[in-house]
């Protein structure tokens, strides 16, 4: 068996190799790497958020049975040119850089690594909630610019506390669950809106049936829903207006879930006290974008899932599926099981 380990600057080829070695997989491996994150991801050949050249990938894949990658463009063109390819493992929660339909047509199994960055994104989300509510980045910048703003101690401008507050979470998946657990430990009352949820929730966490009810009751709202075609613009001007004046809104999920113009309007008017966003309407964000001129918003460049542990978790999840497949078993994280069922 021959495996191409196509790494990048985050999930390094050496990490992929170590994960394969830990599984004692008997295979020839070839290591290559693309230029992400130095070169941004883009749409390539019908797939999203990919990096690398299709022709270079095709050349490297010749004779390979397995592609183990994070960001390579697994397009229809690549699949057509690599008839020996039988398994593609994508080290991401969603295999958006693989043409799953084309792979299925050709009998190529595709696996992903769900939950690989759940812990990292949880920590970043909590940091963003606290940074936005406490305006840490803004106070840091002012102090370094020589401003000592003791007037921020005035009652009418001091920040809210999480302790004793009601925090609403839109989405209760792997990340939302972890965020909720920490918020309860801090002393917040947590509301959850998730139409797919059907389980008993721990003490301190309450499910609400309507998003509007969550928004009306929550002084902090953090978005953790998975993006779908149905929930584009889930939080817009109408929804933000339902939140109590002086609230905080955070999005570390997906940009399509939030109307950013409505967010800026609410910050400009003072209806929202603060906001924090790790996912942005354009990435990279243009230097003249309105978000960069709007007060009281903390932004980071889509880094919530970035941690050393996340890279290793992804590699080990993927290697475990490769090992299961190589030994005639069923991989755990298959996104096109119909290939196995044929």
pLDDT by residue (tens digit) across 38-47? 998 999 999 9
Q: How many helices (H) and strands (E) does the chain have?
A: 12, 14
pLDDT tier for residue 165 given thresholds of 50, 70 and 90: very high
Q: Which domain holds residue 97?
A: 2-116+307-341
Residues 244 and 138 in one domain: yes
Residues 213 and 145 in one domain: yes
pLDDT at 331: 97
Residues 83 and 225 in one domain: no
Q: Which residue has the tokens 């690989």?
A: 116
Q: The domain that contains 39 carries what CATH number?
A: 3.40.50.720
Residues 90 and 183 in one domain: no
Domain boundary among the residues 282, 299, 316 is at 299
Show the tokens assigned to 38: 């130095």
User: For the chain, what is the mean pLDDT?
Assistant: 96
Residues 12 and 33 in one domain: yes
Of 177, 173, 172, nearest to 193 by C-alpha is: 172
Number of domains in the chain: 2
Domain boundary among the residues 267, 282, 299 is at 299
Residues 66 and 186 in one domain: no
Residues 182 and 221 in one domain: yes
Residue 158 zone, left/alpha/beta (φ > 0; ψ -120 to 50; rest): beta
pTM: 0.90
Beta strands per DSSP E along the chain: 2-7, 28-33, 42-44, 47-50, 66-69, 87-90, 109-111, 166-170, 189-193, 205-207, 220-223, 247-251, 272-277, 297-299
Cα 169 from Cα 244, distance rounded (Å): 15
Q: Are strands 47-50 and 42-44 parallel, antiparallel or unpaired?
A: antiparallel
With residues binned 3-state (H G I as helix, E B as strand, rest as coil), the percentages for the chain, rounded to 5, are 35, 20, 45
Reduced to 3 states (helix: H, G, I; strand: E, B; else coil), residue 192 is strand
pLDDT digit string, tens, across residues 295-340: 999 999 999 999 999 999 999 999 999 999 999 999 999 999 999 9
Residues 125 and 92 in one domain: no
302 flagged as catalytic? yes
Show the tokens assigned to 171: 């989405």
Of 197, 163, 205, 199, nearest to 180 by C-alpha is: 205
Given 14, 22, 210, 283, the catalytic residue: 283
Reduced to 3 states (helix: H, G, I; strand: E, B; else coil), residue 303 is coil
Q: Are strands 247-251 and 220-223 parallel, antiparallel or unpaired?
A: parallel
pLDDT digit string, tens, across residues 114-129: 999 999 999 999 999 9
Given 116, 134, 254, 333, the catalytic residue: 254
How many other β-carbons are positioned within 10 Å of the β-carbon of residue 43? 12
Show the tokens assigned to 60: 């490297």
24 flagged as catalytic? no
216 flagged as catalytic? no
């Amino acid at each position: 068996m021959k495996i191409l380990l196509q790494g990048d600057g985050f999930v390094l080829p050496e990490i992929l190799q170590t994960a394969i070695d830990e599984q004692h997989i008997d295979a020839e491996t070839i290591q290559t790497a693309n230029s992400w994150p130095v070169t941004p991801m883009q749409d390539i050949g019908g797939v999203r958020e990919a990096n690398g050249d299709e022709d270079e990938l095709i050349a490297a894949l010749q004779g390979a049975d397995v592609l183990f990658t994070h960001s390579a463009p697994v397009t229809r063109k690549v699949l057509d040119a690599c008839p020996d390819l039988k398994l593609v493992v994508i080290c991401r929660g969603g295999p958006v850089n693989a043409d799953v339909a084309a792979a299925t047509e050709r009998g190529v199994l595709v696996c992903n690594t769900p939950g690989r960055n759940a812990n990292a994104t949880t920590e970043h989300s909590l940091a963003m909630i606290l940074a936005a509510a406490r305006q840490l980045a803004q106070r840091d910048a002012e102090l370094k610019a020589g401003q000592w703003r003791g007037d921020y101690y005035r009652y009418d401008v001091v920040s809210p506390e999480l302790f004793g507050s009601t925090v609403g979470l839109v989405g209760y998946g792997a990340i939302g669950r972890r965020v909720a657990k920490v918020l309860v430990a801090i002393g917040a009352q947590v509301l959850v809106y998730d139409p797919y949820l059907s389980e008993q929730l721990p003490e301190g966490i309450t499910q609400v049936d309507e998003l509007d009810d969550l928004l009306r009751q929550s002084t902090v709202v953090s978005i953790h829903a998975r993006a779908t075609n149905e929930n584009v613009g889930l939080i817009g001007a109408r929804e933000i207006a339902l939140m109590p004046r002086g609230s905080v809104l955070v999005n570390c999920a997906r940009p399509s879930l939030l109307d950013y113009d409505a967010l800026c309007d609410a910050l400009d008017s003072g209806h929202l006290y603060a906001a924090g966003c790790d996912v942005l309407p354009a990435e990279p964000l243009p230097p003249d974008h309105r978000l960069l001129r709007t007060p009281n918003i903390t932004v980071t460049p889509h880094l919530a899932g970035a941690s050393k542990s996340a890279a290793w978790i992804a590699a080990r999840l993927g290697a475990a599926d490769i090992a299961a497949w190589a030994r005639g078993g069923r991989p755990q994280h298959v996104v096109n099981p119909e290939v196995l069922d044929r």
